Amino acid sequence: SIAQEVVGLFCMILLTLTALVANTVVMVVILKTPLFRKFIFVCHLCVVDLLSAIFLMPLGIISSSSCFNRVIYSIAECKALIFLNICFISASILTIAIISVERYYYIVHPLRYEVKMTIRLAVAGVIFIWVKSVLITVLALVGWPQGNGATSASRCTVYWSPGAHKKVFVILFSIACFVLPTIIIFAVYCSVYRVARIASLQQAPVPVSTQAVAPRHRCNSIASQVTIITARILPLPKLIQDHLLGSNKAILTLVLIVGQFLCCWLPFFAFHLHSPVAVGILGGGHGEMVVTWIAYSSFAINPFFYGLLNRQIREELARLRRSCLNRPLGQELCLSLSEASVQENFLQFLQ
């Protein structure tokens, strides 16, 4: 119906504008702050999602809306669209997987992270992401017809792509860009939650007088360090309350991050894995449009979950906003990475 078309078109345009603005804001904040080199992969994720919002999502609107049914693509244009589609999706998901691994080392092994996380390693990670994404995309274009043929915009999608090897490609694409990253993300965040749980369940430190009588062996684990740092600042009732609150917020944060990833990408890959087997059952058109835009919504949600959720990025964004409005800046964020590592508690690390 016309109402459904209008609502669908409005939602697609709103998602595209949100992805453009949110990714641009987070990327500018990270690039303008020299102390934020630890967010280099978050910045790369914003770049990938911003490119998707500029090139991929507007073309997705043309392919999905019946208002553009008369739009015709040549074979070369359709190849280019599918190339952008698969390449940006692969790069975005692989970047999210690398961010999860980076966070694991930043939280569980902070000293090792500060030593090994260099610009050279970050550049190598970015190159790996794009090489793998391009190789997967090239595999999708094998077997396409040559010549000056044409196809409608609505059929220029992965679902309608030709080639006898389509089933093989879909399986490899799903394994390389969804199954393996999902296993990595789930395993890494489970390890992070386990460390957060241990830190939250630590006993309150023994009073100074008791420690003088019965000295205890020093433990260098991250959980013990977090407990000691917070205990020096907070009184005992507040410490216990913050432990419980921190544990609950840690669970909520991890569930939101993993749940958002699965909600966005599981329907997309489940559809494309099921469609080659049951072509006669699935209509393709409307089903693919729905799962595709659920997946595209990840480009608009990622800057909030991986950028604005972080306290330091939010504070720097507020400082830049006050600076643009010529208002008093107040207390600016001027902590070095090492100072931030000491003064932040575990929940802020997790965020």
- The string of pLDDT tens digits covering residues 185-215 is 999 988 888 887 777 676 444 444 444 444 4
In a domain, 226, yes or no: no
**What is the number of alpha carbons within 13 Å of residue 235 lying toward its C-beta?**
2
In a domain, 100, yes or no: yes
Indicate the pLDDT class of residue 277, thresholds 50, 70 and 90: low
Instruction: Please provide the DSSP assignment of 34-61 as one string.
Output: GGGGGGHHHHHHHHHHHHIIIIIHHHHH
Distance between CA atoms of residues 95 and 128, nearest Å: 10
Mean pLDDT of the chain: 77
Distance between CA atoms of residues 94 and 179, nearest Å: 11
In a domain, 160, yes or no: yes
In a domain, 257, yes or no: yes
Range of the domain at 285: 2-203+240-320
Short-list 319, 312, 304, CA closest to 19: 304
Model confidence, pTM:
0.78
Residues 296-323: tens digit of each pLDDT: 999 999 999 888 877 788 888 888 777 7
Residue 56 belongs to domain with CATH number: 1.20.1070.10
In a domain, 224, yes or no: no
Residues 6+ apart with CB under 8 A from 56: 84, 85, 88, 296
In a domain, 199, yes or no: yes
In a domain, 105, yes or no: yes
In a domain, 345, yes or no: no
Distance between CA atoms of residues 130 and 124, nearest Å: 10
Please report, rounded to a whole number, the percentage of residues in the chain having pLDDT higher than 90.
Answer: 31
* Per-residue burial over 276-297, b = 16 or more CB atoms within 10 Å of its CB, e = otherwise: eeeeeebeeeeebbebbbbbbb
pLDDT score of 78: 87
As for how many domains the chain has, the answer is 1
**What is the number of alpha carbons within 13 Å of residue 308 lying toward its C-beta?**
13
